[in-house]
Amino acid sequence: MSRVLLILLMLMATAGAVVAYGDPDQIARARVNIAQIFGSITATPAPAPAVQIARSQGGEFAFRAKINGVSAPMVIDTGATSVVLTWETAKAIGLPIEMLEYNVDLETAGGHTKAARLTLDRLAVGKLVEKSVPALVVQRGQMKTNLLGMSFLDRLESWGVRADTLSLTGYPDVTGSISTSGRRHRPRTAIDQDIMKSGTR
């Protein structure tokens, strides 16, 4: 409160000096500065971005994400430590698949395979946007769908299932941006354990 009063006193002194000199340009600039300062004092954080995904008839939480600006189908998989892309999706996005080194052992629904590490510039699920997301790309023909794993989910403030609806919530941003990038990881809660038992893989 004392900080606000100090700012007000400084503004009053500045405004008084400007009015005394009677310079119209300086008066206009003073009004803009006052409006900006009051705006920063009264500003409130933007609402936390959130996305809801209904469970499909097959029991999965399927949706379309934007990977580096390209729309691609994905399925939530809390058992996957990373976002995992099919070779076909990686090629459609324009990732340098010929330069990737497939040296990561990976177990999928179809069995054992090899995957390559890379970093996605941008991954968006509705209003939730993350940058520099670690991901894996499997070899050609080894998977049929892309998986949204924990390398994305761990960056959210919360996520969980209720009444066959998966809710993903990012962190509110005091600057008004809806990006969730750079936020801290959070421990799993009881509701997270429920979703892990729901067989979303």
Mean pLDDT of 77-87: 94
Q: Which SS3 state, helix, strand or coil, does residue 50 take?
A: strand
Confidence of residue 107 (pLDDT cuts 50, 70, 90): confident
Distance CA 100, CA 141 (A): 16
Q: How far is CA 8 from CA 4, 11, 33, 37, 164, in A?
A: 6, 5, 12, 10, 52
Q: Which amino acid is at 43?
A: A
The pTM of the full predicted model, rounded to 2 decimals, is 0.65
Confidence of residue 84 (pLDDT cuts 50, 70, 90): very high
84, 99 Cβ separation under 8 angstroms: no
Written as six digits, the tokens of 143 are 């998977």
Give pLDDT, residue 47: 80
Please provide residue 109's backbone torsions phi and psi, each rounded to the nearest 5 degrees: -60, -25
168, 180 Cβ separation under 8 angstroms: no
Q: State the maximum Cα–Cα separation within the chain, in Å, rounded to a whole number.
A: 81
